[in-house]
Amino acid sequence: MVREWKRKERGALFWYSRVWRNNICLIWGEIRSLWGEGLLEYIADLWNIVDFITNLFYVIWLALRIASYYITWRDERTGKRTWYPREEWDSFEPMLLAEGAFAAGMIFR
């Protein structure tokens, strides 16, 4: 039971989630909108700025998740301890920051 809990402590792997695909589709839609309308008209609509901020939070979320998995992978290869209870995580743990960025993106959505 403890082994299973430890394995799931950091959450599901991000590529198994369908969330990233949805976010990429949202970003692609905004890029197409920007390309079609032009920069000045795109910025004139304030909802587009909110969409940009939302997509920015999603990109930050994805980058921090990748960084978290890389740090864990690197530490495992060097033989360092990779599992700590969540209460002992550093305040700037990439996984914690990623969760905050995702939550902020969902608020703006």
Q: Is 13 left (phi over 0), alpha (psi -120 to 50) or beta?
A: beta
pLDDT for res 39: 92
The pLDDT of residue 95 is above 70: yes
pLDDT for res 9: 60
Q: Is 73:40 a contact under the CB 8 Å cutoff?
A: no
The pLDDT of residue 64 is above 90: yes
Cα 65 from Cα 95, distance rounded (Å): 6
Cα 70 from Cα 61, distance rounded (Å): 14
The pLDDT of residue 12 is above 90: no
**Mean local confidence (pLDDT), 61-68:** 91
pTM as predicted: 0.75
Query: Which among 55, 57, 58, 30 has a CA at the least distance from the CA of 45?
Result: 30
The larger pLDDT score, comparing residue 14 to residue 105, is at 105
